[in-house]
Structure 1
């Protein structure tokens, strides 16, 4: 299986309202991330735009429907379409979530939780092995936001992810916002989560906003909150060079606002590097 070298750039999730800004050129980002499923088509304007931007930026294909937790295995039609897109775009890397989204007959379009058991671990690892073999490249797997736990759970989520990476050779996409949301909802320590993740397997970080409350919700429609920035500062102190992405899926602001958040991420990283030096 191929390896994925560290890449310490800063980027944004590409969203339709910002197509004109990027096509005009001069946007100060190092990479772009796109939702794979939005471009898994034979043609059309979005795919042509992505190909044009790919000439200027490294692109990450970020999936939401692979369903690595499905007991029925992976959908071969989905994998074939994803591979066709990857061969066309030649992404920096590809990622998806630790979750399940479908049964054999229905796709929920939600990132549904898994029991953290040895049985589920075997299913997930078999599916990731299948995906990586089919795609011909290593993947990144992202930690989800979580709103419930299972009485059958046998390990912490960070232990589950560490074991997935060890068994399959995949890498990790660390969503700092999701850690903050899940830590709040379940009462565990976000610092314990960071400490339990194998730092040498992390290649990317996601930053996003959430809707606070008794149960915090990962909505991606708010600016990055202070709690996420604080945990991000701790993460960059331990992970070394990793790509950092700002995600925004609702209440999408002008591009300048997101670039301001990206500058904040750069500043935190540069501050840590200066102290470390």
Structure 2
């Protein structure tokens, strides 16, 4: 597989934090050229042929690295991949040459229907084979590596025969895909399923992580009056997620990090401050790692 990176190779994003590109910030970004590491967009929002979104994205792409994040491939669905969707995705990648491309370990389609959600999978041999075949098809079609994002989950399937981490590690082994470690998803799933999030990160195939995501979540209660976290992307990153992120950085080093904020999008300075906090953390931990190695 080749790496289609254009003028901004992925290594140019190391140690940098980015934000999701939102329409309300187009003008500010073009007029002010803020010092931000990269922008990420959802692929499905740009699958039309033209219009203002493409004009703005093309202009911003000239100045900044781009990460393309898919939400509609339905990698885990018990049906063939949508070839039309995959063709549109390839056209988009060829057009904008993103430094990174990622998708979710989830499914969202069944028969002729499409669900507006990212649904969980049972971790079984049958599901594993299906996901592996789909990722191989995606990577062969696109001619590049895909990053797979760990899910935010709210339940476990009784039929699962793999742990989530073992399932993901086996996918990487069989496909050569990379990983996007969503730290908020680790916190959400660990709280909902009574896992230790720090142990989760320690056991994760960290050598294959090429991007981090950080986001906010809502806190509710389940029927047993226990905390139930919902992955909402509509508020600042939680303090515990920052601690988990620091823990992961100490093991991985400075990896491109995205601040995900998709609903109730705040003014630009709020987003920028979250990204700067991530960069400052990367820099401080990177300096600490360098000093420790020298001692």
Map residues 141-160 of structure 1 onto 2, 5 A cutoff: 141-160=148-167
User: Are 1:158 and 1:196, in contact at CA under 8 Å, matched by a contact in 2?
Assistant: yes
Q: Unaligned 5+ residue runs, structure 1?
A: none
Match of 1:235 in 2: 248
Please, what TM-score do these two structures have when normalized by structure 1? 0.97
CA distance in 2, matches of 1:106, 1:48: 31
Residue 109 (str. 1) matches residue 122 (str. 2): no
Among 227, 248, 251, the residue aligned to 2:264: 251
CA distance in 1, matches of 2:175, 2:217: 31
Among 52, 75, 89, the residue aligned to 1:82: 89
- Deviation string 1:196-236 (CA, Å, 9 cap, x unpaired) is 22222100000000001221000000100101001001011
The secondary structure found in structure 2 opposite 1:141 is strand
Please, what TM-score do these two structures have when normalized by structure 2? 0.91
- Deviation string 1:125-177 (CA, Å, 9 cap, x unpaired) is 00000011111111001011101110011122121111111110100000000
Return 218-227 or 261-270, whichever deviates more. 261-270
Deviation of residue 5 (structure 1)? 5.6
Return 265-274 or 217-226, whichever deviates more. 265-274
Match of 2:137 in 1: 130
The secondary structure found in structure 2 opposite 1:148 is coil
Among 189, 212, 223, the residue aligned to 2:219: 212
User: Are 1:33 and 1:62, in contact at CA under 8 Å, matched by a contact in 2?
Assistant: yes
Among 171, 175, 193, the residue aligned to 2:200: 193
Q: Unaligned 5+ residue runs, structure 2?
A: 4-8, 221-226
Residue 2 (str. 1) matches residue 2 (str. 2): yes
Match of 2:179 in 1: 172
User: Are 1:159 and 1:196, in contact at CA under 8 Å, matched by a contact in 2?
Assistant: no
User: Runs of 4+ in structure 1 displaced over 4 angstroms?
Assistant: 3-6
Map residues 87-106 of structure 1 onto 2, 5 A cutoff: 87-106=94-113
Aligned residues: 277
Among 72, 79, 97, the residue aligned to 1:65: 72
Deviation of residue 25 (structure 1)? 3.3
CA distance in 1, matches of 2:173, 2:24: 39
- Deviation string 1:30-54 (CA, Å, 9 cap, x unpaired) is 1110010000111111011111111
Residue 260 (str. 1) matches residue 273 (str. 2): yes
Q: CA RMSD in A?
A: 1.3
Among 198, 223, 231, the residue aligned to 2:236: 223
The secondary structure found in structure 1 opposite 2:148 is strand
Among 7, 11, 18, the residue aligned to 2:18: 11
Return 263-272 or 224-233, whichever deviates more. 263-272
Return 86-95 or 187-196, whichever deviates more. 187-196
Match of 2:6 in 1: none
CA distance in 1, matches of 2:99, 2:90: 14
The secondary structure found in structure 1 opposite 2:152 is coil
Deviation of residue 274 (structure 1)? 2.0
- Deviation string 1:67-95 (CA, Å, 9 cap, x unpaired) is 00012121000000010111100110211
Match of 1:270 in 2: 283
The secondary structure found in structure 1 opposite 2:237 is coil
CA distance in 2, matches of 1:126, 1:144: 19
